[in-house]
């Protein structure tokens, strides 16, 4: 009862604070170009965006669950959930977007030295430094441990040579966290180290990669004799695989919740269905067929969210079923793609143009979303890799020669 009272008053405080500090313009559905990204190239789309970011930053709400000494708000899982719910109710936009916040931070909290935490975490929470992720390589995708980017011992430094692909927004980032090979004498997972690299270092270059939907945020990042101080090694030398897996775990969770981060469609799919198909039997597409598919999708989508809540509750009650988090990325990315396919069917010939991202045309942005989301079942570990992991870890099926 006492807990309930405390959470009721916490919720009331949060709601009051959000209403006071989150400007109305920051409670509208997020538009991609108005997202608030941190870093040296930081720029705010509006004064309201700056106000909202600064208020959230000062309250630690850019990283609600991180300890306050590292710039977070030190909230419990339950409190953070209340904050999320209240932000969702009011429609508050995320106050900061950054891969450092989502991916590197959790790994540093688990594996970083105290000096590394103090150097990097507050700068992330405060939106001063923006991070990119350097994992995949042209010859190391699903077989990530096959990576070849080399970091050689060079006195107080590592000398890094090689390239990283799918480095999202690396052209706008300040630093990159990378998996590098420090030893190639043993099994491939064992010679990998986790290194933090300043993208301003001499010898780094970044090239964008266009995708099937047009321009994209993906880049390839090249390293040529780049010198990196040895203090920037996270975890053990040759022991980076453990850190990498922690990041991947968070990336999977992030991908599972990607929809909530992405640009909100200006219309939801139910409205779209009602407007374009409704109760009519249009030649070439039967409303009952689409309605049936749409209902299936909405039921599954809701169940994915219930599953996510169940995982969070189990974690809080310390009775976690370790198999469940492995399912989230596989299930949720399928549903996002399923929704997009239903949207294309509803739109018919109206939904076939990509045009440019700046075009305000509603349907084109939905088609761009469809194209972009094709990457969801690939990035962060393909669906097939997810199934391998589920079979191995949750079901403990025998080794099959692929991991």
Contact positions vs another protein (CB under 8 A) = 270, 273-274, 291-292, 294-296, 298-300, 302-304, 306-307, 310, 313-314, 317, 319, 323-324, 327, 330-331, 384, 386-388, 390-392, 394-402
Least Å distance, CB 261 to another protein, is: 21
Residue 227 or residue 394: which is nearer to another protein going by CB? Answer: 394
Residue 185 or residue 279: which is nearer to another protein going by CB? Answer: 279
Least Å distance, CB 295 to another protein, is: 4
Residue 266 or residue 393: which is nearer to another protein going by CB? Answer: 393
Residue 276 or residue 368: which is nearer to another protein going by CB? Answer: 276
Buried b (16+ CB within 10 A) or exposed e, 37-58: bbbeebeeeeebbebbbebbbe
Whether residue 387 contacts residue 333, with contact meaning beta carbons closer than 8 Å, is answered with no
Residue 185 or residue 400: which is nearer to another protein going by CB? Answer: 400
Report how far residue 76's alpha carbon sits from residue 64's, in angstroms, rounded to the nearest whole number. 9
Report how far residue 369's alpha carbon sits from residue 371's, in angstroms, rounded to the nearest whole number. 5
Least Å distance, CB 338 to another protein, is: 13
Least Å distance, CB 291 to another protein, is: 5
Helix, strand, coil share of the chain (percent; to 5): 50, 15, 35
Residue 156 or residue 396: which is nearer to another protein going by CB? Answer: 396
Least Å distance, CB 312 to another protein, is: 11
Least Å distance, CB 314 to another protein, is: 7
Least Å distance, CB 298 to another protein, is: 7
Instruction: List Cβ<8 Å contacts ≥24 apart for 188-192.
Output: 188/145, 188/146, 189/145, 189/241, 190/238, 190/241, 191/238, 192/145, 192/147, 192/238, 192/240, 192/241, 192/244
Residue 354 or residue 394: which is nearer to another protein going by CB? Answer: 394
Q: Which residues pair with 222 in a beta bridge?
A: 163, 205
- CA angle, corner 251, sides to 98 and 87, nearest 5? 55
Whether residue 240 contacts residue 180, with contact meaning beta carbons closer than 8 Å, is answered with yes
How many C-beta neighbours within 10 Å does residue 297 have?
18
Least Å distance, CB 365 to another protein, is: 22
Residue 8 or residue 303: which is nearer to another protein going by CB? Answer: 303
Least Å distance, CB 84 to another protein, is: 18
Residue 98 or residue 259: which is nearer to another protein going by CB? Answer: 259
Strand ranges for 250-331 from DSSP E: none
Helix 325-347 and helix 287-316: axis angle, to 10°? 160
* Residue 285 parent element (H or E): none
Candidates 258, 246, 265, 337; CA nearest to 300 is 337
Report how far residue 148's alpha carbon sits from residue 140's, in angstroms, rounded to the nearest whole number. 8
């Amino acid at each position: 009862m006492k807990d309930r009272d405390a959470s009721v008053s916490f919720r009331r405080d949060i709601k009051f604070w959000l209403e006071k500090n989150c400007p109305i313009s920051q409670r509208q559905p997020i538009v991609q170009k108005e997202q608030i990204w941190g870093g040296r190239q930081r720029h705010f789309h509006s004064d309201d965006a700056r106000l909202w970011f600064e208020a959230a930053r000062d309250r630690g709400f850019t990283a609600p669950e991180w300890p306050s000494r590292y710039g977070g708000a030190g909230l419990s899982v339950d409190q953070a959930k209340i904050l999320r719910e209240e932000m969702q109710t009011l429609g508050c936009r995320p106050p900061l977007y950054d891969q450092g916040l989502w991916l590197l931070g959790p790994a540093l909290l688990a594996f970083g030295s105290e000096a590394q935490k103090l150097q990097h975490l507050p700068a992330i929470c405060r939106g001063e430094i923006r991070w990119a992720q350097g994992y995949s390589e042209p010859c190391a995708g699903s077989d990530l441990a096959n990576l070849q980017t080399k970091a050689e011992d060079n006195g107080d430094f590592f000398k890094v040579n090689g390239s990283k692909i799918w480095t999202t927004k690396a052209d706008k980032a300040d630093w990159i966290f990378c998996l590098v090979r420090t030893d190639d004498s043993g099994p491939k997972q064992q010679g990998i180290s986790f290194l933090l690299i300043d993208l301003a270092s001499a010898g780094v270059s970044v090239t964008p990669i266009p995708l099937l939907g047009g321009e994209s945020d993906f880049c390839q990042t090249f390293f040529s004799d780049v010198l990196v101080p040895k203090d920037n090694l996270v975890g053990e030398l040759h022991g980076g695989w453990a850190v990498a897996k922690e990041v991947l775990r968070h990336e999977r969770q992030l991908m599972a919740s990607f929809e909530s981060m992405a640009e909100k469609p200006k219309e939801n799919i139910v409205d779209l269905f009602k407007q374009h198909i409704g109760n009519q039997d249009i030649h070439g597409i039967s409303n009952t067929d689409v309605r049936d598919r749409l209902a299936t999708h909405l039921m599954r989508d809701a169940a994915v969210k219930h599953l996510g809540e169940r995982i969070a509750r189990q974690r809080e009650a310390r009775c976690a079923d370790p198999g469940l988090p492995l399912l989230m990325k596989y299930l949720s990315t399928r549903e996002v793609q399923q929704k997009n396919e239903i949207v294309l069917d509803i739109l018919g010939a109206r939904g076939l143009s990509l045009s440019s991202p700046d075009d305000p045309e509603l349907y084109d942005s939905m088609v761009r979303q469809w194209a972009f989301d094709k990457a969801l079942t690939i990035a962060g570990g393909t669906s097939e890799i997810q199934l391998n992991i589920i079979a191995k870890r949750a079901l403990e099926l025998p080794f099959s020669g692929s991991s």
